[in-house]
Amino acid sequence: CLLLMSSLPPPQHKFSKDTNADLLGFVDDFNGIIIDSKSLPTDKEMFGIVLQASLEVWKQEKRKGIWLKIPLPTHAELITEAIGQGFECHHGESGYVMFTKWLPETPNTIPAYTSHFVGVGGFVLNDKREILVIKEKNGPVTSIWKVPGGTADPGEDIAETAVREVLEETGIPCEFECILGFRQLHTARFGKSDMYFICYLKPKHCDIKIQESEIADAKWMDLDEFLNLKYYQGVYKKLLELGKDYADGKRDGIVAESLPVVFKPGNNTVYYTDNQSRL
Amino acid sequence: CLLLMSSLPPPQHKFSKDTNADLLGFVDDFNGIIIDSKSLPTDKEMFGIVLQASLEVWKQEKRKGIWLKIPLPTHAELITEAIGQGFECHHGESGYVMFTKWLPETPNTIPAYTSHFVGVGGFVLNDKREILVIKEKNGPVTSIWKVPGGTADPGEDIAETAVREVLEETGIPCEFECILGFRQLHTARFGKSDMYFICYLKPKHCDIKIQESEIADAKWMDLDEFLNLKYYQGVYKKLLELGKDYADGKRDGIVAESLPVVFKPGNNTVYYTDNQSRL
């Protein structure tokens, strides 16, 4: 059950050292152990000895999942030792690789890492019923007209991504109105999933300035001409038609509202349909 | 620009060996190199020599991003060598660690890995206007009533996750009606982002059978009593009120439709507001 969970303070704040192991490890909320990276020796042999001794203690203490974060490049030597003692890679980032080991005989319930890429496109229509479209300079598809957009930066809201990408690629500053719809796909890069949101944006002016490094061409195209391009069918035809319906006042969008998180300081963005007043 | 990109066949299918390097590498659509893991030596010293020679060739050939996938546990020894030659960890899974190196003097444009966890909750209301709620056995929050739910399995659609989690946790089989709304949060586990979707589900019967391993309690609770629990405010109060509004016919949901991908076989699920007929 995820509701609330992700809004709580980072679990580290609640952990206590409540184990007799050689390595410094904190007991987590699931009776697992989070090994303190700061306490790791850099010497591989020494690490092998204390890890083995600690695992023995944790087995006796009936601990479940063991989390071992190996900082890079400083502690890279420890990786082969960890793998040798049965640890598996959980995920990695430029500064570390996280390994886990499940101690009990029961099935491993260690939660997986992030599963989804998040991409956002901008549906930008001007007063002449022309849509802002681009052609890419690089990548697998350079010959077709598309709406501008791209991948969410770390920590960026969907609405922010849409506005930023359109500005970067075409020089058009916009205001976010709503999400028109989105699709979920499960065969994206590295076998992971991808969510693509298409947002309705209102342009503040219409003077295109192309991003030279990534964009081969950009222009305003008649909306119906764009929708009739033969490569738009199925999923993408539908997503574009949602924009046409919205522009014509025939369909509501998914609006964004920033609300307090409650369980800690700050706000989160909530997205929902806003047709309440019309029913 | 992400539109279409993720729906195309895996780029590997389009790559050609068009380089004079010692290591077998394929040129990708961005003038980068994807090193063929199958061609990696297991000997660390040998790997160091061929990697260095290959990098020299790729620099001369003006290649950009180099992708190096090191299979685990078989090739773990190569990791320190790769790091020593300036590779950084891009991501990892239980069977491998992916490293990258950016060769040009220009800014690194290698795309990031997945950024979001996806969680789903079920808003299940019976004929007596009672909502299905649970208390968790483990984890940081065990004392409050919540709606059932959990994390999306790999390859699973939002609607499927909602139905599966409710069935697993409470034994109640349901039918998916719509997504009520969702929130995006950027301070979830490991500093990554999290999207939580709340779905309206119709129960097929009301006989609760608790999942013993994870759930401490489950019951049907009067909807207004649940909404008035003092810990529901801000983001979560709003998400729950969306369900109440929907149940009362005061708000539309976000419906799901399976549509052809077009650029390859298969369907994707598209989510959008469906109030067209009423406007």
Q: Is A268 within 8 Å of B235 when comparing Cβ atoms?
A: yes
Per-residue pLDDT of chain B (279 residues; tens, 9 = 90+): 444 444 444 444 445 667 778 888 999 888 999 999 999 999 999 999 999 999 999 999 999 999 999 999 999 999 999 999 999 999 999 999 999 999 999 999 899 999 999 999 999 999 999 999 999 988 777 789 999 999 999 999 999 999 999 999 999 999 999 999 999 999 888 999 999 999 999 999 999 999 998 899 999 999 999 999 998 999 999 999 999 999 999 899 999 999 998 877 889 999 999 875 444
Q: Is B116 within 8 Å of A119 when comparing Cβ atoms?
A: no
Using CB atoms, which residue from A180, A193, A276 is nearest to B155?
Answer: A193
Q: Is B151 within 8 Å of A111 when comparing Cβ atoms?
A: yes
Look at residue A16 in the predicted model and tell me its pLDDT: 60
Q: Is B154 within 8 Å of A276 when comparing Cβ atoms?
A: no
What single DSSP character describes residue A9? P
For residue B255, what are the contacts with CB-CB under 8 A and spacing of at least 6? B178, B179, B271, B272, B273, B274
Q: Is B116 within 8 Å of A118 when comparing Cβ atoms?
A: yes
Q: Considering only CB atoms, which chain A residues are within 8 Å of B160?
A: none
Q: How far is CA B60 from CA A128, B107, B232, in A?
A: 49, 18, 60
Phi, psi of B243 (to 5 degrees): -65, -40
Q: Considering only CB atoms, which chain B residues are within 8 Å of A251?
A: 272-273, 275-276, 279
CB B241 within 8 A of CB B232: no
In whole angstroms, give the CA distance from residue B141 to residue B150.
14
Name all domains of chain A by residue range, CATH numbers in brackets: 11-102 (3.40.630.30), 116-273 (3.90.79.10)
Chain B: closest CA distance from residue A163 (Å): 13
What number is the ipTM of this complex? 0.90
How would you classify the pairing of strands A33-35 and A65-71?
parallel
Q: Is B113 within 8 Å of A116 when comparing Cβ atoms?
A: no
Q: Where are the beta strands (DSSP E) in chain A?
A: 25-27, 33-35, 65-71, 88-93, 96-102, 116-124, 130-136, 149-151, 174-185, 193-203, 215-222, 254-260, 267-273
In whole angstroms, give the CA distance from residue B135 to residue A189.
36
Residue the block writes with tokens 């591989």: A44
Using CB atoms, which residue from A88, A111, A155 is nearest to B186?
Answer: A155
The two structure tokens encoding residue A229: 């391009």
Q: Is B275 within 8 Å of A259 when comparing Cβ atoms?
A: no
Using CB atoms, which residue from B118, B148, B254 is nearest to A254?
Answer: B254
Using CB atoms, which residue from B119, B156, B251 is nearest to A276?
Answer: B251
Q: Kindly calculate the radius of gyration of chain B based on its CA atoms and give it in whole angstroms.
A: 25
- Per-run averaged pLDDT (10 residues), chain A, 279 residues: 43 59 88 93 95 96 96 96 97 96 94 95 97 90 90 95 98 97 92 96 97 94 96 93 94 93 87 69
Q: Is A117 within 8 Å of B116 when comparing Cβ atoms?
A: yes
Using CB atoms, which residue from A96, A185, A267 is nearest to B268?
Answer: A185
Q: Considering only CB atoms, which chain A residues are within 8 Å of B101?
A: none
Among candidate residues A184, A149, A151, the one with its CA nearest the CA of residue A167: A149
- The residue of A117, A124, A166, A270 whose CB has the most chain B CBs within 10 angstroms, and thus the best one to mutate to test that interface, is A270
Among candidate residues A246, A268, A177, A175, the one with its CA nearest the CA of residue B182: A268
What single DSSP character describes residue A154? T
